[in-house]
Structure 1
């Protein structure tokens, strides 16, 4: 039974990495950093799967892009993206997924807690992404925030609300279908 649960959660992590890759292609181009569906996928993943599997899904996503698969925004891939101006956002997805899931596991997988967790994670992504953008693109702090933080705050709040609502709803249905345990943590591997 333990092997079956481990296999199931490995497949689920792969599915959420794929969902992230698909949502990455939904974008609004902006100078330096586009608005994409990636952060929505991060919030959904963490809200549904929790800290451990949410982070593993984002590690899988980053690894797929690192080896050159076109999974990042604008169908890009490769180490150049990870270590380029927008790579900090991708690295932050891992931390954000873990933190979102952890907050929900320590409290409850409710809509209100999901909003708090996803808003915090969204700000974490924007901060880490902006820091790498500043240094890689050799921008001033004002320019880094102007290009990498401020344009994404309102859209980020909307995506955090959407990820919270959809994530809690989907998680409840997965628990009802016995695909996830009703405890705070998904099935342990």
Structure 2
């Protein structure tokens, strides 16, 4: 594969998963402060399919698109105010979670059980980033921040971690078979 073709595939995959994240962000269950949305499902799938670097790039792209005003955040929100507001920490957490989830899989194996463990770790990273920003932006005590920013998301987060693991492995294998995925870690590709 030519280097230009390789770069183009990477850019397309990153853009596709940034778009998927924006679409799944609109599937939400309203809660008092932070809604439950499909964003974290997209983060997990992106990390499993693309790996650490490309998964994190997809989330950086997603955050940048939302920051410049495209309504891709949950509830069709957009702008820098979202990133510095109560829910912004979750968006920053998506970047780190995608990188760490993909990194774990690159260093182990791309299997559903390992992807599930990696996605649980990614979920905890996202919740940590989100809760810390929620606490400071809204001037909450730690208990109130945990009640609003972590506890409502744990059960559904485990379900999304499993779905992201299963879907991510299936999609990754199919993209590899079709030669549509650029893998930076060839040793542990599948």
Q: TM-score range by the shorter chain?
A: over 0.9
| Aligned mates of 2:77, 2:35 — CA distance in 1 | 12
Shift of 1:11: 1.0
> Normalising to structure 2: TM-score of the pair?
0.95
| Aligned mates of 1:51, 1:105 — CA distance in 2 | 8
CA contact (8 A) 1:108 1:184 kept: no
Partner residue in 2 for 1:36:
37
Counting only pairs closer than 5 Å after superposition, residues 6-155 of structure 1 correspond to structure 2 as 6-155=7-156
SS of 1:146's partner is helix
Partner residue in 2 for 1:177:
178
Instruction: In structure 2, list runs of 5 or more residues that go unmatched.
Output: none
SS of 1:180's partner is coil
Instruction: In structure 1, list runs of 5 or more residues that go unmatched.
Output: none
Distance 1:36 1:184, change over 3 A: farther
CA contact (8 A) 2:110 2:188 kept: no
Shift of 1:85: 0.3
| Aligned mates of 1:177, 1:119 — CA distance in 2 | 29
Runs of 4+ residues deviating >6 angstroms = none
> Normalising to structure 1: TM-score of the pair?
0.96
RMSD: 1.2
SS of 1:30's partner is coil
Aligned length, in residue pairs: 186
